[in-house]
Structure 1
Amino acid sequence: MLNTFGVPIIPDNETERLARLHELQILDTPTEKSFANVAAMAAHMFNVPIALVSFVDSDRVWFKANVGMEDTLEVNRGVSLCSLVVLNEDITVFKNATTEPCLLANPLVVGEFGLRFYAGAPIKTADGYTVGSICVVDKEPRDFSEADQRVLQHLAAIIEDEIQNR
């Protein structure tokens, strides 16, 4: 698998994590209003051009909801910064992607897309497996306070509840 990050992107619990993700039967399904509303809310609340609800599959990151990149349904896992979110328990924040050593070979950062800011909160199953993220993206560096991080985590909790209620 392509990996532009220079660090391992497969968590230790990958087999179980993928099993939980596939049990959700959420991949390659139509956009649902509740997910789209959360992504739109995130874009508006944080005043960013891009907000995504993504699920990290074995070799791709698939977008269940997408504001700002509507023509893109998925991205290679080794390129998408959402792949890094499944490695952490907490939120992942890159205030200025051009200063992050693990992102210096990433085509979304160094290429024409011009990603500069990324914040992603993990989306977890009821039994604790991180299967995706809700993220906000900008083409300008920016700060992201602890209060902002808590808000993004609350949006992830809404998505988690929605997944449980499907």
Structure 2
Amino acid sequence: MISTKYPGLIPSYEHERLVALQPYQVMSTPGQELFNDFVSIVAKLFDMPIALVSLVRAEDVVFIGNKGLPEALVVDREDSMCSVAILNDGLTEFKDVAAEPCALVNPRVAQQMHLGFYAGQALRTPNGQAVGSLCIIDRRPRELTSLEGSLLKELALVAQELLRLQAAQAANPTLVPELRARLEGPVQQSLTRLTTLAELRQWESSADTDEAQRYVESRLDEARYLAQTLYRELQAALTHAGQ
């Protein structure tokens, strides 16, 4: 299947995982507009240049939502840290990719792309199988706060519902357009507030002032509100579609 140099990448339940992935193979082509919109929002929420939604297939990883990396990017499974994220229940975080690379994958791709930080959360099917990940990547080392880690987990729940919605769209082509129309206003309002809070913080003399920290906290609160709004609307759309 893949190089035995990294056997730890292949879980004992790999057959069941690949079976669970099959309904989502229709989304194997990069450039999915819905997912690209979503990861653009995720990148903005964390102020990071790269955000991705991946599907981890038998031999490779395909990015169906891509913000910040070359289009149509598909990498070998042994070259992607998303292959590691699907092995964990919690957050997978590499704070300094160059200084402490992941031992379970080939570090070559991360080095070539000058990646400094990676955080990913596994995306699971309704029966609990991990089929991909939502990840954020920076060019420099950094560390997520506990609140930021919680936010990424909430956004991963949104990504899971997006996977379900996209699969359900085959039977109901109006699902995604109707959802996009319904969410356009609330999403833009939240993004505007997030931008305003970021600009206000920049006016502070130091990032460590109490006022600057309040702006950071308010920004995280707004981001969580947006994540919860997206999740709620997705669940409503899926329920209406009988999923």
- Structure-1-length-normalised TM-score: 0.89
* 1:161 maps to 2:124: no
Q: Work out the percentage of aligned pairs sharing the same amino acid.
A: 32
Q: Which has the higher helix share?
A: 2
Q: What pairs with 1:6-155 in structure 2 (closer than 5 Å)?
A: 8-29=8-29, 31-97=31-97, 98-100=99-101, 102=103, 106-109=107-110, 111-155=111-155
Name the amino acid aligned to 2:87. L
Cα 1:13–1:42 change in 2 (3 A) is same
* Bigger relative contact order (CA 8 A; separation at least 6): 1
Q: For residues 69 and 37 of structure 1, what CA distance do their matches in structure 2 show?
A: 14
Alignment match, 2:204:
none
1:70-96 CA-partner distances (Å, limit 9, x unpaired): 334211100000000111111100111
Q: Which runs of 5+ in 1 are unaligned?
A: none
Runs of 4+ more than 6 Å apart: none
- Structure-2-length-normalised TM-score: 0.62
Name the amino acid aligned to 1:155. L
CA contact (8 A) 2:94 2:102 kept: no
Cα 1:79–1:105 change in 2 (3 A) is closer
Q: CA deviation at 1:101?
A: 5.7
**Structure number, greater radius of gyration:** 2
Compute the RMSD of aligned alpha carbons: 2.0
Q: For residues 105 and 163 of structure 2, what CA distance do their matches in structure 1 show?
A: 34
Q: For residues 108 and 85 of structure 2, what CA distance do their matches in structure 1 show?
A: 18
1:44-77 CA-partner distances (Å, limit 9, x unpaired): 1111111110000011000101011133421110
Cα 1:30–1:119 change in 2 (3 A) is closer
Q: For residues 102 and 150 of structure 2, what CA distance do their matches in structure 1 show?
A: 26
Cα 1:95–1:164 change in 2 (3 A) is same
